[in-house]
Amino acid sequence: MTRHFSMLRDFQLADWFTLANAFCGTGAIFAAMRFLQEGRVRDLLLGMALIPLAFVFDALDGRIARWRKSSSTLGRELDSLADVVSFGVAPAALAYACGMQGGWDWLVLSYFVCCGVSRLARYNVTAEQLSEGQDKVKHFEGTPIPTSLVLVVVLALAAATGNIGQDLWWGYWQLGPWRLHPLVLLFALSGSLMISKTLRIPKP
- Residue 102 domain flag: yes
Is 149 inside any structural domain? yes
* Residue 3 domain flag: no
- 146 part of a folded domain: yes
Instruction: Give kind and range of the element (H or E) at residue 98.
Output: helix 90-98
Neighbouring residues of 68: CB distance < 8 A, sequence distance ≥ 6 = 12, 13, 14
Residue 1's pLDDT band, with cuts at 50, 70 and 90, is: very low
Q: What average pLDDT score do residues 129-140 get?
A: 59
Residue 4 domain-assigned? no
Instruction: Give the closest residue to 116 by CA, choosing from 97, 144, 90.
Output: 144
Q: For residues 113-137, give the mean pLDDT.
A: 75
Rounded to two decimals, the pTM is 0.89
Residue 1, domain member (yes or no):
no
Contact between 87 and 148 under an 8 Å Cβ cutoff? The reply is yes
**Number of domains forming the structure of the chain:** 1
Give the mean model confidence (pLDDT) for residues 159-186. Answer: 97
Higher pLDDT residue, 199 or 103? 103
Distance from C-alpha of 30 to C-alpha of 192, rounded to nearest angstrom: 27
Higher pLDDT, 184 or 132: 184
SS3 category, 125: helix
Q: What percent of the chain has pLDDT over 90?
A: 66
pLDDT for 54: 97
- Express each pLDDT in 54-89 by its tens digit: 999 998 877 776 665 666 667 778 889 999 999 999
What average pLDDT is seen over the chain? 88
Instruction: Please check the confidence at residue 201 and state whether its pLDDT lies above 80.
Output: no
The residue with greater pLDDT, 200 or 151, is 151
pLDDT in tens, 24-50: 999 999 999 999 999 999 999 999 999
CA distances 152 to 69, 90, 123, Å, are: 32, 9, 23
**Any idea what the CATH number is for the domain that residue 49 is in?**
1.20.120.1760
User: In which domain, by residue range, is 51 found?
Assistant: 11-202
Q: What pLDDT does residue 103 have?
A: 97
Tell me whether residue 25 is in a domain: yes
Higher pLDDT, 121 or 104: 104
**173 occurs within a structural domain:** yes
